[in-house]
Amino acid sequence: MADNDDVIINLQGDGELDGALRAARGRIGTTGRVMVEGADCTCQGGLSSICDHAAAAGLDVVAFDHKANRLMLAARRHLAMAA
């Protein structure tokens, strides 16, 4: 796969959340994005609960659309500390 592939995840519930995020993280490389569609999501805390799961998978939330019930995630970037 190319290093800039985008992935769409249509979540149905908590049971598939961690596996789907890890799989998507592996596919997007360093510049791709993960779009989480949550219109049908029955996750316990809704889309807001995904933030912790995303961080554990090496993803950061970069955009949140309340009306469309979507999250956009990207690979976590490690920032260098100035000396």
Residue 2 has pLDDT above 50, yes or no: no
Residues contacting 50, CB < 8 A, separation 6+ = 11, 17, 21, 36, 38, 43, 61, 71
Residue 19 located in a structural domain: yes
In sequence order, what E strands does the chain have? Answer: 7-10, 33-37, 59-65, 70-75
Residue 79 located in a structural domain: no
Which residues form the domain of 30?
1-34+43-61
What sign does the CA torsion over 64, 65, 69, 75 have? negative
Residue 51 located in a structural domain: yes
Residue 52 located in a structural domain: yes
Question: How many separate domains does the chain show?
Answer: 1
DSSP annotation of 14 reads: G
Predicted local confidence at residue 10, as pLDDT: 80
Residue 1 has pLDDT above 70, yes or no: no
Residue 81 located in a structural domain: no
Residue 73 located in a structural domain: no
